Amino acid sequence: MGMVRACMPVPLPALPAAAHSTGAAEKKPSRGGLRVLVLGGTGRVGWSTATALSKLRPDLRILIGGRNREKGKSLASKLGKRSEFVQVDIHDPSMLEAALYGADLVVHAAGPFQREDKCTVLEAAISTKTPYIDVCDDADYSWRAKGFHEQAKASGVPAIITAGICPGVSNVMAAELVHAARREKASEPERLRFFYYIAGSGGVGPTTLASSFLLLGEDVIVYNKGKERKLKPYSGSLNIDFGKGVGKKDVYLLNLPEVKSTFKILSVPTVSARFGSDPFFWNWGMHTFATFLPTESLRDKNKVLKLVELVDPIVRTIDVIAGECVAMRISRLCSSRIHFNNY
């Protein structure tokens, strides 16, 4: 088992200007400071991102991007005079490009990313030469986005995907564990496991709840000794100790993008990811949905969003009792320390 070092925040440098290439429209220079457009800014994740950015870099102009004008203007006013609302629908290419044309960086937090068959924001960012970052948590979407690597490179557009907490911070923790073992010339890492736990809503919004339900309609991809396996969602439960303040919690298999990237990029032969929540009956509910609801319904984004509308008020009520907590643990095992036959 390895230890991941915590890093203190450091002052951020100025955002790089997008590179120019012949034939593409040149972006207008920013007025009054660098402008960061947060798409999904009226949601819990997007709003938290916008708030954190405004505190970390008070010199930034934060653009709250979303469809709800009334809510967007209200939230933008809370950030002060250097913030404003920009009405934008990410599925409207012309509206999206117009919004990005005036930005120096776009943060895509307008999920859920599941069942999205196009990377519309990334494509618009490359077209308008706008540096891009997202908080994608879907395996298919993340690998589809990787397919734009050469286009982004040719246009001089920095693009970072899956940069939330999990995946995102969890990937950095995993990479540190693997690289630490190799630096210390320990035995080669043979297995890496991602474990996640939330109490109640975990402080996130209905979009993340929708993502969880949509994942129940996907086969879980894991890797066992170099071979890909497909398993049932919310199966393979384990009881994991998340440490002081959280304790031992049951977690279940879900199809998360960090599994494939760890296998492909870090070359770890056995990888899996599990998730669990409190109160415990949420796990029963998730398992029941995965077992008894038709897969077609769980893969239908519109039906899932309607289900979330019914369930979300209950989750918010229980948050008062269960609290809001997020924990994660990344476990690394090396061949010289253990022999195993499972993922």
End-to-end Cα, the chain, rounded Å: 16
> Per DSSP, what are the bridge partners of residue 183?
none
Q: Which residues contact 215 (CB under 8 A, 6 or more apart)?
A: 114, 233, 254, 255, 256
Q: What is the pLDDT of residue 212?
A: 87
Q: If you average pLDDT over residues 65-72, what whole number do you get? A: 93
- In 3D space, the residue among 337, 320, 305, 332 whose CA is nearest the CA of residue 114 turns out to be 305
Q: How far apart are CA 36 and CA 60, in angstroms?
A: 7
Instruction: Quick: pLDDT tens for 191-226.
Output: 999 999 988 655 566 777 888 899 999 999 999 999
Percent share of the chain, pLDDT over 70: 85
Q: If you average pLDDT over residues 79-94, what whole number do you get? A: 93
Q: Which of the two residues, 22 and 322, has the higher pLDDT score? A: 322
Q: What is the pLDDT of residue 22?
A: 34
Q: Which of the two residues, 75 and 313, has the higher pLDDT score? A: 75
- Asked whether the predicted pLDDT for residue 317 surpasses 80, the reply is no
Q: Which of the two residues, 3 and 327, has the higher pLDDT score? A: 327
DSSP string of 205-260, one letter each residue: -HHHHHHHHHHTTSPEEEEETTEEEEE-TT-S-EEEE--TTT-EEEEEE---HHHH
Q: If you average pLDDT over residues 249-269, what whole number do you get? A: 95
DSSP string of 19-81, one letter each residue: P--TTSPPPPPPSSS-EEEEETTTSHHHHHHHHHHHHH-TTSEEEEEES-HHHHHHHHHHT-T
- Asked whether the predicted pLDDT for residue 12 surpasses 70, the reply is no
What does the DSSP 8-state code read for residue 156?
A: T
Instruction: Quick: pLDDT tens for 110-147.
Output: 988 998 999 999 999 999 999 999 999 999 999 999 99
Mean pLDDT (the chain) is 86
Q: If you average pLDDT over residues 56-79, what whole number do you get? A: 94
Q: How far apart are CA 219 and CA 19, in angstroms?
A: 40
> Per DSSP, what are the bridge partners of residue 107?
38, 133
Q: What is the pLDDT of residue 65?
A: 96
Percent share of the chain, pLDDT over 90: 64
| Claim: this prediction has a pTM higher than 0.85 | no
- Asked whether the predicted pLDDT for residue 248 surpasses 60, the reply is yes
Cα 261 to its chain centre, rounded Å, is 14
